[in-house]
Structure formats: structure tokens, C-alpha cells
Structure 1
């Protein structure tokens, strides 16, 4: 079934490429001059669009509501500016092969700008080189690219945001307490920076990090890893995760072990399921990224670059601490943004 979905999505990307080419799209700026084949009627050819780019966005997985919110922000901003945008992603957040194939396909399409949230940068080398050769403007969102051809990174300052997360978490426990970190994919630069930020902040706060487990942003893997840790770590006081899905799995394992009263959980992302667990007191807090603003800023920056403006190499968006006191307000805002997009 997964191979069928992959075939259909790559086929859809190819179809989009053919349609774009049929409509005269290209990676270079659209020509707004008179038609050179005009025989002298005196009427200038009117441009089909203003000087705006066609933007392709490739995310990690739209099954994750965080990336769905980036998509909503990008599409809302594209609607506001009159820009064409399409958003694709693999089915699973650890599917590096699918993402690499999609990037190669997009690199050959008639898009002007490609914005990508890379799962594993090393797997994207061919696609990035092809996109640059074909004259595409390349941006990264959510996760920075260590690639010379990338014009700008838009997203959270992952190290510093996770350092804030670790500082808050350390304040929940006594000095000398023990913690574990559950993190995403080994190759994912964003999760690595978050891990480093958490480790440094917990160390500075007098908390001992007993172990770090790679759970691939999987709720199931996190639940299993947490269950195994609970069997061997009787002095565990704190769990920090680098994304929400793993916090959900960890919370379930801790509850099943009957240790909810003695172990604190602090998450990172701020999507609805974890925010609800924060509201009811099952998770202590989550540091929420502004995914919607990342999507909006992605489109704004793509337009500026396409029109020849200079932009910073890095554009950081904010994070917000979500606790029991503001969890409902945060969920209402996230749901409003997602519902707004679905009804348009």
C-alpha cells in the first residue's frame, strides 16, 4: 500500500510538472515584454500573472499536525498575495527516500522557488544540486540546510528554544534529579540541535541526563522506549521530548506504569493532542513553535527573493510556553487556523 501511495504522489508531481510546462511556467522570471512574434498590431501582450513566483513546498509529513499548520499558513499567505503554491510531503516523517524522490521531481518542474523541510540532508544531495542547476531558488523551513545554495532558513532557533525548554524542565525538579531525552531521527538537524539545547540547559540546571533515546518522532516507538526505561530507571524524575508525538507515547507508558505523580514531562511543538494533555495536567508544559507563521514567512520570503530583494540568511520565529493556564487558548487558536484553511 505504501508503494502505491508513493507511485501516486510522484505521478501527481509529474502531472503538475507537465501542466505547469503547458501553461508556459519556468524557473526563470516570467517575461513581461511584448511577444516577439507580434506582427505589429500595436497591442502589447498582457502578462498572465504579476511578477510573482510559483512556489513548491516539500515538508516532512502532513500526518503531523505541526506540518499541516505550516501548510495552512503558507496557503493563507499565498492567497493573500496572489501567489501560486503547492505543498507535498512523504507519508511518514522518517521516509527519507520518498522525500528525496519528490525533491528530484520538483527540481524538474516549472516552479521558481523550492522550500524544503529536510528529513535527512545527505539524502537530498542530488535533488538540491538538480534544483540549483535548474535555476530554482532554494529555502529551508523548520530545519536548516547546511547547503551553500540555500538562500534562507525560516523557522525556530532550535538550540535556544530547546535550551529554554530545558531550563523550564529543570525548574520542575530538585537539583541532582535524573532525566531522559526522547528525540527524533538521528539524521534530522533540528532534533539534534534540540537535543543539544536540552542537554546543556539540564546540565546547567543541575539535572543528570541518564539517557537519550532516538524514537524517530514516533508515538509508538516513544511508548516502547519509555516502558523499557521505566523498568531500569527507578530514580527517573523528568522526560523531555524534541517533538509532541513522542511526549504522547511517553505519557501513556508512564501512566500505565503508575508513575505519573513522580515523573514530569515537557514537550516541544505545541500541537492539539499534547496541548490537551497539558490542559488536563497529564503533561507539565510544551514549548510551542509558531508553525503557522513559519508557513506565512516562507511565502513572503520566497516572493522577496524572486523579486530580487535581499533577505537575511536566517529568519527565526517565536516559541511560546504553554502550561495549564493558557493551553485552552492556544488550542483554540491552532484549531481556528486549521478550520479557517479547510473552509476556504
Structure 2
């Protein structure tokens, strides 16, 4: 688990960019001689690429660490993991996927920044012979069908997780509570699913959703968005944040407006940086979707595919609502 800082230092961001360019092996070493494909990786082990979203987000730092530990424990593959510098860097993910193709990786595990825009480059990867597993953010079914791709998904029920988190906020505020929704990237399926879950929770709990805005999963953008919303809606009582990074921006904006304790937040991800705010009650709930487990399960599915096994369309991973009582 990473530490509680939610913004990486500049040097760490530069490292993240470097990883996008060259990859990082799960066992801590790099094969000599260039291409890390199935036959040229150490001992003939297959190379599995893990392409994630922003490594400036603690959630994906945790995912990367878990993936590396899982690959090392398995011992039968070479892992190359990479991420992008911000949540909207779709071109960075496309570059990483293209590098996996050029490097002749055997398999690719991807958490896409956009559910449609990544389908075409993944189609090129599939045509090049890579086995592909989709984790975390579901690729768009219509886009996959149009591209003739059948890519299995490993991940949670995002809509249900958001509904559970939103229900905790509804319980805390009571009927009639005025809330806003902080959405993730509009092109990401999990952003749409979490918004739907929050809307369902608000309807069931009698909350009034006065606005819904995207902050693209980012802390700084969420700070600006929530600051503006607090001005527009001075009687605001709650924020439904689609991830913890945005929740952290909301916490900062609420505090700056002098409304700490008066505006409650429900969130999603359970990163370490959010836990102090869960403990003190400013965040009534977050949802653990077990980032390390998702990556490990994705790697396992990729290895099954390489062994010729038929994969399930959806391997559903765990969710757990986390409240102050869970953190002691």
C-alpha cells in the first residue's frame, strides 16, 4: 500500500512517464537484448503487458504494486507495467499498447482510460496475436462488436458499488438532502456506471441531485468544480464522488469554503489518502474494489488464455463498502 500522499512528486511523475515508454518487469529486472516477447524473455517465459491509467492516482500505484507482487509469486511470466500521467491521456495509453505490440508481448492486460477510444489499438494488438484481458473499466460492448473483438472483463460491478456508497450518504443526510455528483471521464464505462449507481441511491434515499459535473477523476479539477458548486448551491449538503481522488478535491474545497462537517461525501476506491477523512466522518463511505486483486486476476486470466483455456466473459471481482467503523 502506498503512503497517504495523493499527488506524486515531480520525479515520480517522470518515472511514471518513463514506465510508459519502457515498461517495468514484475521481477525487477529487464531482459537483455531488446524485444521481450515470449521467446526472448528470461527462460522463455511469456511477457504480459499491464497498461493502466494514471500513476499519479494512488489507486493505480496500488494496482501496479499488486501486479508486480503477483507476477513475482507466480514466477512463470515476465511483467511489463506502465501507466499514464493523467486520467485523460488516451494517446499515452495507445502508445503503450503499440509498444507492447512492437515488443512482441504475449498478452496484454489493460485498464482503459476510454471505453471506446482504446478498442481500435486493442484490435491491432489482437491481430498481432496478443491475448487481451480488460480490467477495471469495461470496454464498450458496441465498439467491441463492431471491431469483431471478444475481450473478457475482470472487474467489479461499479454501478452496485456506487449505489451502496450513495446509500450511506442518503442515510447520513436523510430525505431531502441536496447533493451533487462528481463524474469521472465521460468516455469511461465505469464513470457512467457509478453515476447511475449514485442516481439510483439518491432516488431510493430521497436525496435531491441538484447538479452533476465531471472532474475527469482528478483532484485539482474536483477542487475547482466543487468550489463553484458550493457557490452556486450554498445549501448543498452532500457530494457523491465517483473516485477518491475527486473526493480529496471535494474535501479541500469544502474546507476552504468553511463548510467542513456541513457537507458530507460518499466516494469510491478506498485509497489510503481518503481514510483519515472516512475516520473523521467527512467522508461517510468509500468502496474498496481491491486494485491489487483485480490486476492479479487479470494476469491469471491472461495466462489461462495463453494456455488455450476459454475465458468467462466477466470475472466479477469483490467490492466492500468502507465506513469509519471499518477503520477503527
TM-score, length-normalised on structure 1? 0.81
Q: Aligned equivalents of 2:91 and 2:101: distance in 1?
A: 15
Among 42, 45, 48, which residue is 2:43 paired with?
48
Q: Post-superposition shift, 1:11?
A: 4.9
Secondary structure of 1:139's aligned partner:
strand
Inter-CA distance 81–181: structure 2 relative to 1 (3 Å threshold): same
Runs of 4+ in 1 over 3 A off after TM superposition: 4-11, 15-18, 21-26
Inter-CA distance 259–162: structure 2 relative to 1 (3 Å threshold): same
Q: Post-superposition shift, 1:22?
A: 8.3
Inter-CA distance 189–260: structure 2 relative to 1 (3 Å threshold): same
Among 51, 55, 59, which residue is 2:52 paired with?
59
Identify the residue that residue 236 of structure 1 maps to in structure 2: 236
Inter-CA distance 114–16: structure 2 relative to 1 (3 Å threshold): farther
Inter-CA distance 306–322: structure 2 relative to 1 (3 Å threshold): same
Q: How does 1:6-21 map to 2 (within 5 A)?
A: 11-12=21-22, 19-20=34-35
Give yes or no for the alignment of 1:136 onto 2:130.
yes
Q: Post-superposition shift, 1:20?
A: 2.6
Give yes or no for the alignment of 1:101 onto 2:95.
yes
Say which one has the larger Rg.
1
Among 72, 83, 93, which residue is 1:79 paired with?
72
Inter-CA distance 48–138: structure 2 relative to 1 (3 Å threshold): same
Q: How does 1:15-34 map to 2 (within 5 A)?
A: 19-20=34-35, 24-25=39-40
Secondary structure of 1:191's aligned partner:
helix
Q: Aligned equivalents of 1:243 and 1:68: distance in 2?
A: 15
Cα deviation code 1:188-207 (max 9, x no counterpart)? 11111101111112112211
Inter-CA distance 189–17: structure 2 relative to 1 (3 Å threshold): farther
Q: Post-superposition shift, 1:169?
A: 1.6
Inter-CA distance 58–18: structure 2 relative to 1 (3 Å threshold): farther
Cα RMSD, aligned residues only: 2.7
Cα deviation code 1:150-192 (max 9, x no counterpart)? 4311111111111111222211112122110112111111111
TM-score, length-normalised on structure 2? 0.85
Cα deviation code 1:68-99 (max 9, x no counterpart)? 11112221221121121110011112111111
Identify the residue that residue 225 of structure 2 maps to in structure 1: 225
Number of residues of Structure 1 aligned to a counterpart in Structure 2? 306
The worse-fitting range, judged by mean Cα deviation, of 125-134 and 269-278 is 125-134
Among 76, 83, 107, which residue is 1:89 paired with?
83
Q: How does 1:1-344 map to 2 (within 5 A)?
A: 11-12=21-22, 19-20=34-35, 24-25=39-40, 48-49=43-44, 53-82=46-75, 83-146=77-140, 147-148=144-145, 149-327=149-327
Q: Aligned equivalents of 2:17 and 2:189: distance in 1?
A: 28
Inter-CA distance 251–104: structure 2 relative to 1 (3 Å threshold): same
